[in-house]
Homo-oligomer: A and B are copies of this chain.
């Protein structure tokens, strides 16, 4: 069984702790955090410490903290034998100082208190040493069947793509909610459409799935919509999105 120390007490640390606790192939032997208050939710189930001098020996050290704190914490693990990984999409592997380093990046959005089926979460792994890569693959496979070797440059692009499909998409949902609220309509009206839009591309390329006025270059509908908008940012987004969609399909029209 692989032993794991988790460094961090935030959202991802909690999700990882929960899911490792439910597997048989790996065991979290300690959770390390600066804040005793935040450690409290772990301390009934596992050893915890606030002292970086008291970190246990383990096969894998998973640093699950904010991007700008990764390098500093990794420095505390320079003398450990296990592989030290971070969990960030945006940070290169070499931000870690220990020789035996790698990355363990679960590509998903984690919400406090919301259950995630980890078995489907893509886990992107990278390691400096070949045998550490093998070890990280074994560890990842205890959580998910969806394990991929992804290098630091690719992972940064993947993280960028995630910003488009997650952060920016969520902002579009927010605009939808705002439009509904102004009309006294429940945002619930849009929820089945939102879900179906996401489900559709599970089995169909987004390029193929695209519909709407911009795809058809239907200028009348586009102008009618623009007249209904009165938020400058929404108008600018409508125009830019429509231009971008038209550009993709103009050769077909």
Contact = CB atoms under 8 A, between A and B. Distances in A.
B202 A190 contact: no
B162 A193 contact: yes
A10 to B, nearest CB: 12
Contact of A196 (B116, B211, B236): B116
A166 B7 CA distance: 39
B191 A175 contact: no
Given A154-B185, A183-B154, A176 B197 contact: no
A225 B158 CA distance: 11
A12 to B, nearest CB: 12
A166 B179 CA distance: 14
Contacts of A248: 171, 174
Contacts of A156: 224, 228
B167 A210 contact: yes
Q: Within the oligomer, what is the number of copies of this chain?
A: 2
A40 interface: no
Interface in A161-176: 161-176
A173 B165 contact: yes
A170 B210 contact: yes
A75 interface: no
Interface stretch (A19-27, A49-57, A93-101, A107-115): A107-115
Interface string A43-62: 00000000000000000000
Interface of A: 67, 90, 107-109, 111, 114, 116, 120-122, 124, 146, 148, 150, 153-154, 156-158, 160-177, 179-180, 182-202, 204-207, 209-215, 221, 224-225, 228-229, 233-234, 236-238, 240-241, 243-245, 247-248
16 contacts: A111-B209, A157-B179, A157-B183, A165-B173, A165-B175, A165-B193, A165-B194, A165-B197, A169-B169, A170-B201, A170-B206, A170-B209, A174-B205, A195-B202, A237-B240, A240-B240
